[in-house]
Amino acid sequence: MKRRDFVKKSLVGAAAVGVSSGALATNSETQTTSAKPFQLKYAPHLGMFSNSAGKDPIDQLNFMADQGFTAYEDNGMKGREIKMQEKMASIMAKRGLEMGVFVAHKIYWKEPSLTTGKEDSRNEFLSNIRESVEIAKRVNAKWMTVVPGHLDLRQEIGYQTVNVVETLKAACDILEPHGLVMVLEPLNFYNHPGLFLTKMAQAYEVCKHVNSPSCKILCDMYHQQIQEGNLIPNIDKSWDEIGYFQIGDNPGRKEPTTGEINYKNIFKHIYEKGGSNFIFGMEHGNFHKGKEGEEKLIAAYREVDSFEPK
């Protein structure tokens, strides 16, 4: 399952745990007692609850809150109609769902963009960032995802890095006055061959050169498990530049407990380091199909969230 698929459309999955889904309200005009909030801010996306909550975005947001989620992620928020953005922002505020990332700009998956240093590529990106400031204000978002794009194979990596850094500095000049943060996402070589940004250390280096509170790292643990593993040590080394996390088990990019990553231990580690305020975007699909699969997905999150901090 490729990241670009998350940008283009939502996935299907996830539902209630601890109580029957029929006992929980999914209508935007009705509310019931919510489940106990999770220890960490796990953020589902639209479509993840469609079998249990229906297709309406507002019903799905209510369902998320009913299950104890306290955050929400929407890669495609920028493409939604303004009225829907406003309606979603209103219900998120009402139900205590903190807005996670949305994708801030057009991502070039197969051709170089920011790495080239070309003025037209930089101007297009900065224009996208200005547009995203208005989206962020409308939906009460703080974070937005940035992917610098493909390598420029005609330039040495050092020159490409400078080109990316200089463009990101210009973007920070736009974002800083509004208190907004772009989070740079390293992606793995297997799903996205040829991209400029692939490893945590590289993202850390770029953020240090940009040197702005508006430029941080998005640590997607699915991508990093494939790219280099060593998740906890790399999180520790990059800690002061991490702004956001995303989740997906490997192989398969499904919910925790379905693959090889020990998410319960990782979540405990992050929590104990003082990371309870991070949002953890659930950027993955459902391992099991249908309403039952959604219930199993929520149960999996209850399991990995059941760590006992020191």
pLDDT tens per residue across span 133-160? 999 999 999 999 999 999 999 999 999 9
pLDDT of 20 strictly over 80: no
Amino acid at 234: N
Cα 112–Cα 75–Cα 179 angle in degrees, nearest 5: 90
- Quick one: 232 and 124 in the same domain? yes
Say which DSSP state 48 is in: T
Q: What is the pLDDT of residues 220-261, one digit of tens each?
A: 999 999 999 999 999 999 999 999 999 999 999 999 999 999
pLDDT category, 22, cuts 50, 70, 90? very low
Q: What is the mean pLDDT of the chain?
A: 92
Domain count across the chain: 2
Task: Report, as an integer, the average pLDDT of 10-37.
Answer: 46
Q: What was the pLDDT predicted at 6?
A: 45
How confident is residue 103, by pLDDT bands cut at 50, 70 and 90? very high
Confidence of residue 301 (pLDDT cuts 50, 70, 90): very high
162 and 205 housed in the same domain: yes
- Looking at the structure, do residues 202 and 121 belong to the same domain, yes or no? yes
Residues near 288 by beta carbon (within 8 Å), at least 6 away in sequence: 296, 297
User: Of 196, 201, 281, 198, nearest to 233 (Cα)?
Assistant: 201
d(CA 42, CA 135): 22
Cα dihedral sign for 100, 104, 108, 113? negative
Closest alpha carbon to 78 in 145, 16, 19, 12: 145
- Both 114 and 227 in one domain: the answer is yes
Give domain status of residue 206, yes or no: yes
Examine the domain organization and report whether 93 and 126 are in the same domain.
no
Average pLDDT over residues 77-95: 98
Q: Residue 34: its pLDDT value, please?
A: 79
Q: What is the DSSP letter of 10?
A: -
| 227 and 137 part of one domain | yes
* Residue whose structure tokens are 């520790």: 236
pLDDT at 33: 54
The distance of Cα 231 from the centroid of its chain, to the nearest Å, equals 17
Q: For residue 9, tell me if it sits in a domain.
A: no
* Residue among 215, 250, 220 at smallest CA distance from 234: 220
Residues 127 and 86 grouped into a single domain: no
Report yes or no on 2 lying in a domain. no
Asked if residue 133 and residue 93 are part of one domain, the reply reads no
Backbone angles phi, psi at 303, to 5 degrees: -65, -50
Q: Are residues 174 and 109 in the same domain?
A: yes
Q: Taking Cα atoms as reference points, which of 68, 89, 168 lies closest to residue 122?
A: 168
Q: Is residue 241 a part of any domain in this protein?
A: no
Q: Which of 236, 267, 289 is the last residue of a domain?
A: 236
Residues 272, 276, 279, 281, Cα dihedral to 10°: 50
Alpha carbons 61 and 221: distance in angstroms, whole number: 25
Q: Give the CATH number for residue 176.
A: 3.20.20.150
| Threshold 0.85, pTM exceeds | yes
Provide the residue range defining the domain that includes 303. Answer: 20-99+247-310
Scanning the chain, the segments in alpha helix (DSSP H) are 3-8, 50-53, 57-66, 82-95, 119-139, 157-175, 200-210, 221-227, 231-238, 263-272, 290-304
- Helix then strand then coil, in percent of the chain rounded to 5, is 45, 10, 45
- Report whether 226 contacts 250 (CB < 8 A): yes
